[in-house]
């Protein structure tokens, strides 16, 4: 029997963050040139939450990015692009058939997957993490062609292996979620209204939500907790929890800093788009400097993980650094909040 082959002329580009990378590549495929930072910013990728009583991989649940699919959904919404998201597909075989039908129609399709059993993924990152995204753009016999923006090059994965990761279990289980842009984007799309909406929503999530574990409040809460960890949990556990913050902030090589670099790059692009908007460009600079502070925090934290000699002192310093970072981030969001866009 002849091997069936359906490969869409989709351009794979490596990116810093899987969802904004996938979203950006999908937009570009459909004729709208949107960079990864722009997709991330419009789609409210930036976030923070700290849920100490929920444990993932033996440590508190910490998130530097929004829920999976937020970036795609919100960026398509705010830009007025028609897109489809299908959630909770009960039958895995049906989910794969839907994917195949999309490929035959020439629609590259985003899938949420878990990375633990993702065959081609760098092994050091294969822990239980279900918020990963990739785009399927071809099928050759029993294998699919996949664009996973964490990787430098496109990858192949078998039917069984793809089904398995689309139905990975645990927290934030993908349950076959798939998404795509309905058709080629025609005409000029004005990014400005979408940028404004995106910024306002992110500002709300970081300083507007009256819940203590989210946004800047969450950062401060975590900063205060860090100091208590050695006494409360012992040095070993404290070091592991600290490592968890750092692993979440890194999230597969975003340049560390929990996506703050990507957001700063977005603000810079936005500032240039708004005819060199002073405040946006200033905010971009502030965010860049804050991201650098996050990077310092990561280095300090990693040193602490490596040699746990004087934990109380180190955790105290780390706590102070995190409070500094929280204060700086708050300044950025307040600045963005006060911008009156014409």
Partner 1 sequence: MDENQNPVYSDKRHGQYRELSYSYNEGGEYNKTVGFHGEADRVILQQAWDLFNDRIEEARQKVLAGKVSPVVYYMEKNLLDPMNLSMMAGISLWRVKWHFRPNVFKRLRESTLAKYAAAFNITIDQLKNIG
Interacting residues toward partner 1 by CB under 8 A: 14-16, 37, 55, 57-58, 116-117, 122-125, 127-128, 149-152, 164, 169-171, 239-240, 243, 246-247, 250, 252-256, 261-262, 264-265, 268, 285, 288-289, 291-292, 298-299, 301-302, 305-306
Please state the closest distance from residue 285 (CB atom) to partner 1, in A. 6
Cβ-based neighbour number of residue 310 at 10 Å:
12
Instruction: Between 4 and 57, name the residue whose CB sits nearer to partner 1.
Output: 57
Please state the closest distance from residue 39 (CB atom) to partner 1, in A. 14
HSE-CB of 132 using CA atoms within 13 angstroms? 29
Instruction: Between 221 and 252, name the residue whose CB sits nearer to partner 1.
Output: 252
Instruction: Between 15 and 96, name the residue whose CB sits nearer to partner 1.
Output: 15
Please state the closest distance from residue 128 (CB atom) to partner 1, in A. 6
Please state the closest distance from residue 51 (CB atom) to partner 1, in A. 15
Give me the phi and psi of 154, to 5 degrees please.
-60, 155
Instruction: Between 250 and 324, name the residue whose CB sits nearer to partner 1.
Output: 250
Instruction: Between 70 and 119, name the residue whose CB sits nearer to partner 1.
Output: 119
Please state the closest distance from residue 56 (CB atom) to partner 1, in A. 9
Please state the closest distance from residue 228 (CB atom) to partner 1, in A. 20
Asked if residue 229 lies in contact with residue 238, where contact means CB atoms within 8 angstroms, the answer is yes
Instruction: Between 2 and 124, name the residue whose CB sits nearer to partner 1.
Output: 124
């Amino acid at each position: 029997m002849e091997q069936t082959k359906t490969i869409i002329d989709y351009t794979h580009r490596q990116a810093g963050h899987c969802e904004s990378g996938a979203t950006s590549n999908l937009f570009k495929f459909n004729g709208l040139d949107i960079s990864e930072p722009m997709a991330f910013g419009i789609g409210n990728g930036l976030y923070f939450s700290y849920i100490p009583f929920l444990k993932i991989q033996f440590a508190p649940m910490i998130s530097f990015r929004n829920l999976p699919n937020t970036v795609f959904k919100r960026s398509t919404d705010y830009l007025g692009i028609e897109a489809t998201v299908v959630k909770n597909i009960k039958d895995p075989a049906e989910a794969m058939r839907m994917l195949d039908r999309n490929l035959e129609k020439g629609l590259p399709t985003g899938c949420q997957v878990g990375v633990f059993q993702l065959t081609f993924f760098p092994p050091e990152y294969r822990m239980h993490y279900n918020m990963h995204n990739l785009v399927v753009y071809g099928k050759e016999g029993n294998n699919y062609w996949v664009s996973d923006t964490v990787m430098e090059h496109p990858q192949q994965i078998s039917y069984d292996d793809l089904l398995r990761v689309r139905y990975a279990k645990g927290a934030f289980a993908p349950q076959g979620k798939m998404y795509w842009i309905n058709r080629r984007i025609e005409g000029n799309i004005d990014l400005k209204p979408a940028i404004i909406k995106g910024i306002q929503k992110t500002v709300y999530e970081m300083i507007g939500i009256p819940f203590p574990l989210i946004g800047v409040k969450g950062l401060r809460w975590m900063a205060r907790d860090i100091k208590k960890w050695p006494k409360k949990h012992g040095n070993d556990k404290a070091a592991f929890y600290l490592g968890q913050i750092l692993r979440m902030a890194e999230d597969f090589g975003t340049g560390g800093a929990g996506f703050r670099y990507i957001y700063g790059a977005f603000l810079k692009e936005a500032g240039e788009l708004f005819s060199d908007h002073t405040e946006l460009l200033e905010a971009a600079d502030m965010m860049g400097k804050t991201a650098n502070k996050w990077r310092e925090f990561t280095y300090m934290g990693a040193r602490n993980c490596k040699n746990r000699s004087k934990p109380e002192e180190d955790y105290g310093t780390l706590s102070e650094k995190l409070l500094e970072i929280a204060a700086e981030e708050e300044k950025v969001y307040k600045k963005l909040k006060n911008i009156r866009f014409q």
